Structure 1
Amino acid sequence: MRQILTDGSFLIGAAIGSGSTAMAAQRGRADFLIALNAGRLRSMGVPSIACMLPVFDATTLTEKFAGEEVLPQTKLPVLLGVNVWEERLDVTQKAMSLQRAGFAGAVNFPSCMHYSHAMQHILARAGRGIEQEVAQLKAVQDVGLTAMFYCATRTQARLAADVGLDMVCLNLGWNVGGAQGHRQRETIEEVAVAVLEIGRLIKRISPKTRFLLEGGPIETADDLRRLLHLAPIDGYVGGSTFERMPLEVSVADQVDRFRHAGQRRDVLDDEGARLVAWGRPYGFVGHAKAHLNFLSRLKALSSAQGSVLLLAEPGLQTLSCLKALGSANGAVPSMVQIDVAGEDFPTRARSILFGSNDASLKRRPALEAGEGDLVVIFAPERLPAGTQRRLARAMRDGVFQTPGSRRPIPMARRVVLVSTASDPQAAGLDPSLTEVLRGWSIRVPPLRERMDDLLLLIQQMSIERFGEVIARDHFSADAMQVLTEHMWPGNETEIHALLGQLLDILGAAPTGQRIRRSDILPLLNSPEPMRDIGTEKDRIADALWRHGFNRGRTAQALGMSRKTLYNKIQKYGLTR
């Protein structure tokens, strides 16, 4: 039976619940193993805290898996979790049974230290309290085995030190982190104060006793390293940090890799492949269903002659769309761009479009054929109503007149109106302009509707704009879950901002370390997801109520522009 090191080296113990974890811990060079009912429950997918509930007999559960799975699979010393709550307890006989079974020693687990102060007093009066746990471990030590005492307070630590137990492990509480971990209540710096005080007490009473830590805010090796700079300890015991959290990450990552490999085998049908090939020269990437439907519509409009209403939410890039509408080979077409939102006076747009009879403003009208392949008007809803009606007549007739002239002038080949609305009726255009564009609108699918293309967009954007590749292998599975569940209200602009910050994280991380969930969450500005409460009208009404009818906050929560929200409020009659 191998004994735990006594040469003063830093000890690493692994509190486990299965034979497979025992073998893995041995390969990781753990110094000893601890077989606990909490570990077994973790392996069943149950939070560790369930070890204190009457769901299984702790003694039967622990002895069975430790004897059948752990001892045969490892050469490491194994300490067994024992409790003092049995109906007939003989501490000496219990210690001798551990020796016969081949265990290296014992720990007091499950322990009444996890109960309230009042409950501990009740158990103590019944002879089943902390004092009896210390007596059991002293008996284990007396037969030549190793005893480790879990404690939570200074008083409990003193009891163990007074009888000279081999090891005292200060339990800092149930572990934070992972899918089932508790929320962090204390920082590393805060717990270091208690660690320093209790450690000094133990060493003053029993210098040979080894002082270890487990649980609490220690989630990673870096956390332990930070604590060691603040308080000296002799070792660390990992439960969830060695068994549950690594399993959550590694299994999730491995399954995700295989899923990703399977997705790479997906083959587009002939029509889908032709659409992807057609869109590539213009800069389009992806093969999500919504994206392919969009490309099919865009291809049809690009080969026709007529003005187009392009609907693109904030943050969506429109240059590729304009290339497709204005050229046949992916080149940037010659464009006259008018951003009505950026004009000091929207009325100026009229003279830019149709010309002016003012000699000081004399210029060639933007709508005149030959000026450019495209006339692009951003925020067309801000044009004066009269200008919108005049533009509608020009689109319908194919000619227009400059102020003060009756000579008809042929229209430019194509006018593209770019709006951030989600549909033509919500674009806020004059009815005459809406009517002439009927059947000539196209909506760019927002990122939330084409999540299958997210990684392709991330990879392309990181290469084009930063000169470095950020691909699937850079993300852990839980990080990918965050990315795919995010609503992306800022669309491609939001991806660009995120990538700039992720490059800094990757540059500072150790080689091979993936981007984690905890890295990404602080970088995303997630709007509230729309609750499934019925129709769009119901969702908007619910969001308005929850945000005190503040339109700015409501629009952000719903992932839409203020203008779109305003139009929908008017449409559904939601004014107060």
Structure 2
Amino acid sequence: MEGKIMTREEIVSNLKNSILKKEPIIGVSIGNGRSAKQAMNGGADIIATLNAGRFRMGGVASTASLLPFKNCNDLVYSFATEEVLPRVKNIPVVFGAFAEDPNIQHSSFVDKLINAGFHGIINFPTISLVDGVFREALEEEGNGFIHEVNLLRIAHEKGMFTVAFAVTLEEAIQMAKVDVDVLCLHFGWTYIKTPPENEMKKYIDRLIHKANVVFHEVKKIKQDIIPMIYGGAFVVNKQVIKRFYEETDTVGYFGGSVFDTIPVEGSMKGATELFKNMNRVSLLEKENANLKKLLKKRQGIKSVLGKSKEILNLVSWIEKVSNHDANILIEGESGTGKDLVVGAIHYNSNRAVYPLKKINCASIPKTRIESELFGHEKGAFEGADSRHIGRFESANHGTLFLDNITELNLDVQAKLLRVIQDGELERVGGSETIKLDVRIVSTTSKNLKEEMLKGNFREDLYYLITVLNRKMPSLRNHKEDIPIYVQAFLKQISERHHVNIDISDNVMNAFMAYDWPGNVRELKNVLERGVILCENNIIDLTCLPGSFNDFIKLDSEVNYIKNSSMLIEKELIISELLKNNWNQTKVSKKLGISRRTLYNKLKKYGISKK
């Protein structure tokens, strides 16, 4: 090929950009130069030169690729270098390599492909499509699929773009562990084992389930792997292809006979365009559904409840700052709803279609915080068995939520500063520079400026993350919103417990008198407790924790002990004893029970003055 050959990094970057733009990745396996050029003009993203394509060109089924016709690697190398590489421009050409070939040494063979101008390699023909005694015999001798894994590992280490065919979960995991770029789940030959029409749905359901399991497991090993599917008896059914795009992580389709043998619109160019457009429509439909969900979340600013001046000002501020890309710090006491405000800012911004990723800086061990933030490469440290994508990278184009940012040590703060300033990072143990476009929203329950003045927080980082700053109001400063919160929380909690609960006027009066050191979170927890403990679907004073006793006005006409649960009874007795300096006569009279009954209850609950 003329000009500069695309690098693996450029190829992967181009594919990921297509994915971000909701364009499907289309791979076409071919057997001659004219087919390759038509596929390229039709919009193919990857051209694979396979011996199966050469057989199809002569009217022979793809299954002939597994027969001992002639040396597979020589056949593919000949037509690919003479016909395909000279014709295909600006998209990667991958070589279909037979790893079991006894005439090749993997490392030198990869060098040969690189020197010839191939961008990548794919394991085809693959032993995955062979069952029974022959495969068992190969694997007993230490051959078989492991050779394909080894070939792709070497190719990746030498900088080639790698596409892996896999039929089983075990094979997919082996390929993910050697860091392949694309995992193509092979569903078998297009014309083989086509199920009857009345069984097709169950067949597709099983394949979709398999795809979900396989892609979920390999992404645990390599999060940024590109998942595609290949073959299967369903490929001519547009609705089935749509299901894979909508119900699995599939981002592309690899095909052979579906493009050059099945008469779709009369030509390979037309067939490629058809699949490209069909899949794009499917993805756009899926995106439309996602956008509708995001619209609901975007209205989530309404979940910042309250009619007080403090809350109305907060909502107005959220609406004002959401679409500005400046970094934000939100301070406030624990339980004031800082997380809720972060979500409202993200989902009301132009970044809402991209991820909101949270990391609690207080809950991650110091030994792991860098890896969690910036990611790491395989082998970066003991226990790093695979590449890990950090929160910065996974939040790219979206919002990174740094909760409890004051808990980061100064060393990590220095690295965080550099990443935010430069807009790029290198994973721990890696050398690849990854460009970032991330908005930072941080929260803390401490006074960050005071922490900075004490020397606990870097001054330069302080100014970088506090371009916009907001202090959350404490609940005691906007108690007029408590009835609104009670109504909303009771509805949520009642639905979860399948009950219909209300609260008494005395409880609401106690709520309004209480100072709520735990803020809105404490209110929600008290209501949750009340729903569990109450009787007759009413939360009364006996359902409140002991911390409310100073705010409870007891009615002398009501026998509270007889109406209370054992749990509340104990708390109420202790509270009254403390308020009356352990004068049991006064306490028993206050509670409406005899002194002897009070004595028995003190013994029952193990209450004594110490």
TM range (shorter): 0.3 to 0.5
Instruction: Mark the structure with the bigger radius of gyration.
Output: 1
